[in-house]
């Protein structure tokens, strides 16, 4: 713990502060001793609502101190422990506290090496906890078996609205269990499965539930290897889904066919407001299809298309969109082959865009 942080704790300002609501101590070289001092203050502090301890040196021992404080604290609603090393044991301490704590609403444990065992403890807690609405377990090597455990909890949990499970070695097997859970879950609105190898089959399972699910509004499937076939399944679901507003599909190699399928979906979909198709090599023809659809689509407000091989001719079609579309507010065409000619077309469209 550095001298600055040590002085803060010696002054014990958290013990006596009656105004501070947010404290950011990210990248502050805090170790378990610092967490111990913070925990003591949190036991009596009644104002601090957000504590950010990102990128420090907390281990399971530090998590133990914080968990102990949360058993008495009634003010803290957001705790960010991103990129520490609390491991499964630390997750267990926090999970035990969450059985009784009814104040904490958001917990971020991104990259904390909690593994499958830590995920199990937290999943068990979700069966009883009625306060936590946001849980980030990204980059923790959870795997399919514990994803199955989490999924079973989601079938009955009525509090959690946001769940981040990105980069967790989840395959088709794990996604299948999550999809089943979403058939009955009525509260989860945001699900992040990016950087997991769910492939086209996993996308198919998710697409099936999207046809009937009326809760999920944001789905992140970036870099999940779904390919053109997976995009086709999702596009079909979008033709009937009336809830999803944001869909991330970047880095999935959906290609021209996937791009065209997405365009077809946008012809009838009246709910989606943001679509990310960056890094998908959809090519010129698929880009043209998207542009034509946007001339009549009245709901999409943000479209990301970087790294898709779009040329000046396709840019001309998007220029026409700018002239006629009254909904689109954000269009990302960066890292394409638009050139001066394409820029000229877009500039012409901008002159008439109101």
**315-330 per-position pLDDT tens digit:** 999 999 999 999 999 9
Give the predicted TM-score (pTM) of the model.
Answer: 0.96
- Classify 183 in phi/psi space as left (phi over 0), alpha (psi -120 to 50) or beta: alpha
DSSP 311: B
Residue 66 lies in a domain: no
Pair 160, 186: CB distance under 8 Å: no
Residue 50 lies in a domain: no
List phi, psi (to 5°) of 22. -135, 130
Pair 229, 252: CB distance under 8 Å: no
Residue 31 lies in a domain: no
Residue 74 lies in a domain: no
Residue 51 lies in a domain: no
pLDDT of residue 1: 53
Residue 165 lies in a domain: yes
Radius of gyration, CA atoms only, the chain: 23
pLDDT of residue 5: 54
Per DSSP bridges, beta strands 274-276 and 302-304 are: parallel
Distance CA 80, CA 26 (A): 9
Q: Look up tokens 């909904």; give the residue.
A: 327
Residue 21 lies in a domain: no
Tokens read off for 337? 């082959």
CATH number at residue 231: 3.80.10.10
pLDDT of residue 271: 98
Please tell me the total count of domains within the chain: 1
Q: Note down the domain range covering 250.
A: 83-352
Residue 39 lies in a domain: no
Pair 64, 91: CB distance under 8 Å: no
pLDDT of residue 12: 62
β partners of residue 192: 164, 220
**226-273 per-position pLDDT tens digit:** 999 999 999 999 999 999 999 999 999 999 999 999 999 999 999 999
Write out residues in the chain with pLDDT < 70, as ranges.
1-16
126: helix, strand or coil: helix
pLDDT of residue 345: 97
């Amino acid at each position: 713990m550095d001298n600055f942080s040590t002085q803060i704790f010696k002054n014990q300002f958290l013990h006596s502060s009656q105004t501070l609501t947010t404290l950011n101590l990210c990248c502050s070289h805090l170790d378990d001793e610092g967490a111990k001092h913070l925990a003591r203050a949190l036991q009596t502090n009644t104002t601090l609502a957000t504590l950010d301890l990102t990128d420090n040196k907390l281990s399971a021992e530090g998590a133990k101190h914080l968990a102990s404080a949360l058993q008495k604290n009634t003010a803290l609603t957001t705790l960010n422990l991103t990129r520490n090393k609390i491991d499964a044991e630390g997750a267990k301490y926090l999970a035990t506290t969450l059985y009784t704590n009814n104040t904490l609403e958001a917990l971020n444990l991104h990259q904390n090496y909690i593994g499958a065992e830590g995920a199990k403890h937290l999943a068990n807690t979700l069966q009883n906890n009625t306060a936590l609405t946001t849980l980030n377990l990204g980059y923790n090597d959870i795997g399919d078996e514990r994803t199955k455990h989490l999924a079973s909890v989601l079938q009955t949990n009525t509090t959690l609205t946001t769940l981040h499970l990105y980069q967790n070695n989840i395959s088709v097997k794990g996604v299948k269990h999550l999809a089943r859970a979403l058939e009955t879950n009525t509260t989860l609105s945001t699900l992040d499965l990016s950087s997991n190898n769910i492939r086209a089959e996993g996308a198919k399972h998710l697409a099936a539930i999207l046809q009937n699910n009326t809760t999920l509004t944001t789905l992140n499937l970036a870099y999940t290897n779904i390919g053109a076939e997976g995009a086709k399944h999702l596009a079909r679901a979008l033709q009937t889904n009336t809830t999803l507003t944001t869909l991330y599909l970047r880095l999935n190699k959906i290609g021209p066919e996937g791009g065209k399928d997405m365009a077809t979906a946008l012809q009838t979909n009246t709910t989606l407001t943001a679509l990310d198709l960056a890094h998908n090599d959809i090519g010129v023809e698929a880009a043209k299809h998207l542009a034509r659809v946007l001339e009549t689509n009245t709901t999409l407000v943000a479209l990301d298309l970087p790294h898709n091989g779009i040329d000046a001719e396709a840019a001309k079609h998007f220029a026409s969109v700018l002239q006629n579309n009254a909904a689109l507010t954000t269009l990302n065409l960066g890292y394409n082959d638009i050139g001066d000619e394409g820029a000229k077309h877009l500039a012409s469209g901008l002159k008439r865009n109101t």
